[in-house]
């Protein structure tokens, strides 16, 4: 009996020690994970689509009459993104300590872009934060919608071209050498297209590493060049003037300029601050230069339409619409109409490009792959002449 009584605590202790150790390991892992997430939160880049959803939900909760801190607490609980949950927690904690919403979100510039911060500042100044957040949410949603349409239209041609490049490489590196070995036994001169493909195949097999290094170096050098002011200017000018896609890129830039400008002006943001935000959000040096000119001109008492009229980047229709808006005191309304017009134009252009690209890709694949096949079978078609020298 004494033995049973004394052995019981020993068994419990032997079971408790591993449990405590496992608990300590789990706590340490949880703390390490938490620290890693908090470190990521400082530089976390929130996708525009997620920011649009967050802004719309926050606007809806504020419209329902909930306090800002309680709204952020609800959004923190329901978000599935662990890093963004920490961002919301820190913003909510900052507001609870007496700081403004705009100053709290400024600490996370990658998660909350300049447009969002400026709209929050305007909402706090006017007392209509919920209404202004609703406007910026609509702006984000329209931007995301247009971007998705363009990306979906470009996915098909990029995938087909990538597949074509891979197929051609497989043919050149693995298939053509088999034909080359067979043709070597003929002992006669091969047709020029066939000989060219065999020479190209031999070159790729011997120098593929040099081609890979050169391609990477060229891509890296191009990236470095476009990161400079002159390189970025050259890239943007080329993109706008590029065949096929240049017109679409131009219309997207105009739509973004008009929509951002109208949203900020309608929300009560001062015009000079609006131009700064529009310039930063445009992503095009042409619009950045125009915004700088407009800011100088407006500071001297001029009109926006006067600068647009002298700038070739902006089409005549837009210049006349803005001038009419200035005459009626409804510039933001006219800008919104111009943005709507270019959004429709972008959708039509994307649809036209999609219908145009499909037959072009079919012809491209037929010419490239069919040309390779014909070149490799040409000696077989002329087998008698090649093998026996009957010519």
Same domain, 79 and 143: no
Mean pLDDT of 104-124: 88
Q: What is the structure's pLDDT at 44?
A: 85
Same domain, 204 and 80: no
Instruction: State the CATH number of the domain containing residue 182.
Output: 1.20.81.30
Query: Among candidates 350, 278, 348, which has minimal Cα distance to 314?
Result: 278
In a domain, 22, yes or no: no
In a domain, 98, yes or no: yes
Instruction: Yes or no: say if 380 and 182 are a contact pair by the CB < 8 Å rule.
Output: no
Instruction: Yes or no: say if 379 and 274 are a contact pair by the CB < 8 Å rule.
Output: no
Q: pLDDT tens, 180-225?
A: 888 777 666 778 888 888 888 888 888 888 988 999 999 999 999 9
In a domain, 20, yes or no: no
Q: What is the structure's pLDDT at 188?
A: 67
Query: Among candidates 294, 299, 295, which has minimal Cα distance to 313?
Result: 294
Q: What is the structure's pLDDT at 56?
A: 92
For residues 342 and 260, what is the distance between their CA atoms, to the nearest angstrom?
13
Q: What is the structure's pLDDT at 213?
A: 93
In a domain, 23, yes or no: no
319 token code pair: 């210049």
Same domain, 151 and 275: yes
Number of structural domains, the chain?
2
Element (H, E) at 338: helix 331-381
For residues 208 and 121, what is the distance between their CA atoms, to the nearest angstrom?
56
Q: What is the structure's pLDDT at 28?
A: 67
Instruction: Yes or no: say if 271 and 265 are a contact pair by the CB < 8 Å rule.
Output: yes
Give the lowest-confidence range in 16-25, 166-175, 234-243.
16-25
Q: What is the structure's pLDDT at 30?
A: 66
**What is the span of the domain harbouring residue 101?**
48-112
Same domain, 216 and 286: yes
Mean pLDDT of 25-46: 75
Same domain, 346 and 293: yes
Report the SS3 class of residue 349.
helix
For residues 162 and 88, what is the distance between their CA atoms, to the nearest angstrom?
40
318-347 core/surface letters (b: 16 or more CB in 10 A; e: else): bbebbbebeeeeebbbbbbbbbebbbebbb
| The domain boundary residue, chosen from 112, 128, 151 | 112
Same domain, 265 and 389: yes
For residues 26 and 102, what is the distance between their CA atoms, to the nearest angstrom?
37
In a domain, 129, yes or no: no
Same domain, 285 and 352: yes
Query: Among candidates 389, 371, 388, 370, which has minimal Cα distance to 196?
Result: 371
CA distances from 362 to 165, 268, 358 (A): 14, 52, 6
In a domain, 19, yes or no: no
Q: Which positions ≥6 away from 149 have C-beta within 8 Å?
A: 346, 347, 350
Same domain, 98 and 231: no
In a domain, 123, yes or no: no
Same domain, 213 and 351: yes
Query: Among candidates 40, 31, 95, which has minimal Cα distance to 62?
Result: 95
177 token code pair: 């050498």
**Measured torsion, CA atoms of residues 167, 171, 174, 180, in degrees rounded to the nearest 10:** 180
Residue 390 has pLDDT above 80, yes or no: no
| The domain boundary residue, chosen from 112, 146, 163 | 112
350 token code pair: 């994307």
Same domain, 296 and 170: yes
For residues 101 and 93, what is the distance between their CA atoms, to the nearest angstrom?
10
Same domain, 91 and 177: no
Same domain, 171 and 294: yes
For residues 190 and 198, what is the distance between their CA atoms, to the nearest angstrom?
10
| The domain boundary residue, chosen from 112, 127, 151 | 112
Q: pLDDT tens, 308-367?
A: 888 889 998 888 999 999 888 888 899 999 998 998 888 888 888 878 887 888 888 888
Q: Enter the pTM of the model.
A: 0.76
Q: pLDDT tens, 271-325?
A: 888 898 888 888 889 999 999 999 999 998 888 989 988 888 999 888 899 999 9
In a domain, 222, yes or no: yes
For residues 62 and 150, what is the distance between their CA atoms, to the nearest angstrom?
33
């Amino acid at each position: 009996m004494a033995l049973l009584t004394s052995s019981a605590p020993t068994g419990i202790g032997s079971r408790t020690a591993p449990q405590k150790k496992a608990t300590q390991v789990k706590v340490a892992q949880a703390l390490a994970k938490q620290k890693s997430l908090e470190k990521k939160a400082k530089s976390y880049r929130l996708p525009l689509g997620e920011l649009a959803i967050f802004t719309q939900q926050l606007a809806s909760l504020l419209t329902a009459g909930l306090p800002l801190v309680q709204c952020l607490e609800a959004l923190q609980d329901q978000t599935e993104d662990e890093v963004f949950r920490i961002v919301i927690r820190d913003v909510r904690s900052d507001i609870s300590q007496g700081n403004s919403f705009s100053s709290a979100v400024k600490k996370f510039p990658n998660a909350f872009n300049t447009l969002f911060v400026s709209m929050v500042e305007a909402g706090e100044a006017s007392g209509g934060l919920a209404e202004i957040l609703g406007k910026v949410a609509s702006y984000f949603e329209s931007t995301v919608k247009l971007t998705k349409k363009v990306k979906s239209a470009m996915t098909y041609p990029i995938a087909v071209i990538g597949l074509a490049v891979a197929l051609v490489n497989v043919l050149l590196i693995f298939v053509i050498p088999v034909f080359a070995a067979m043709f070597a036994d003929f002992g006669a001169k091969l047709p020029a297209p066939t000989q060219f493909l065999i020479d190209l195949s031999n070159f790729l097999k011997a120098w593929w590493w040099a081609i890979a290094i050169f391609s990477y170096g060229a891509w890296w050098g191009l990236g470095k060049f476009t990161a400079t002011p002159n390189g970025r200017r050259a890239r943007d000018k080329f993109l706008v003037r590029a065949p096929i896609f240049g017109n679409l890129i131009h219309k997207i830039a105009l739509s973004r300029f008009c929509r951002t400008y109208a949203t900020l002006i309608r929300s009560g943001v001062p015009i000079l601050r609006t131009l700064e935000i529009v310039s930063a959000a445009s992503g095009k040096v042409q619009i950045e230069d125009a915004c700088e000119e407009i800011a100088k001109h407006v500071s001297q008492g001029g009109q926006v339409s006067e600068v647009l009229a002298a700038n070739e980047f902006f089409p005549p229709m837009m210049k006349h619409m803005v001038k009419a808006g200035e005459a009626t005191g409804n510039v933001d309304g006219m800008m919104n109409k111009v943005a709507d017009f270019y959004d429709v134009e972008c959708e039509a252009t994307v649809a036209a490009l999609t219908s145009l690209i499909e037959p072009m890709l079919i012809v491209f694949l037929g010419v490239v792959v069919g040309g390779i096949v014909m070149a490799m079978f040409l000696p077989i078609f002329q087998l008698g002449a090649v093998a026996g020298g009957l010519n």
